[in-house]
Amino acid sequence: MGLEDSLKSGRWRHICVDMQNMFFKKTAWHAPWLARILPTVHQLVATQPEKTVFTRFIPPVDVEDASGAWRDYYRHWHQMTRSRLGEDMLDVVDDLKAFIPPAQVVDKKGYSPWHEGKLQKHLAGQNIETLVITGGETDVCVLATLLGALDYNYRTVLITDGVYSSIDSTHDQLLGFYRLRFTNQITTWTAEEFQKHLEKV
């Protein structure tokens, strides 16, 4: 079954990566691009909200709850631990949170949503073959999500105007990287192109 066939059969899901308040609001991890892509992502989710899975990046409560390199990381970003940040900052942004449910949520402690097995169990239980990826950041958690999707044999569509980053240069470099190195596994479409393909099927 090819990409068009999986879209036609409904065997696809939209994985919306880390569209959370802590990246949207004025925190140390504020990513201005999130607001820029939010209307595009909102429109995509609104089309078929039951096909969306939101991932949420969940920091430790305190620095000492992390280990190894992550403890070093949170010593630098101590203000982004949950005890300092506040639980509301972990939430999906309000414009998208309204779609939960029927949209689903999968939490993760690191960049990848695959390690704890919850996302794969959810997708495998519904015989999903294609993943459509939006969110952020293009060069961190989206990267980890895409590479894991390929390892699990999913056909993958990256919505190029539906991803954000904190750094313009690495965002641009990673879009080029996805197009040049994963030509046979990752399809890069704009949201408009994706919607046109859905309409055709």
Q: Distance between CA 91 and CA 96 in Å, rounded? A: 10
Nearest to 3 by CA among 125, 184, 190, 191: 184
Q: Are 146 and 163 in contact (CB under 8 A)?
A: no
Residues of the chain whose pLDDT is less than 50?
none
- The ranges assigned to domains in the chain are 3-59+89-200
Reported as type and span, the H/E element at residue 170 is helix 168-181
Q: DSSP letter at 160?
A: E
Fold entry, domain 3-59+89-200:
Rossmann fold (3.40.50)
Q: Tell me: the pLDDT tens digits for 151-201?
A: 999 999 999 999 999 989 999 999 999 999 998 899 999 999 999 998 876
**Cβ of 31: how many Cβ atoms within 10 Å?**
20
One-letter identity of residue 20: Q
Output the pLDDT for position 2: 84
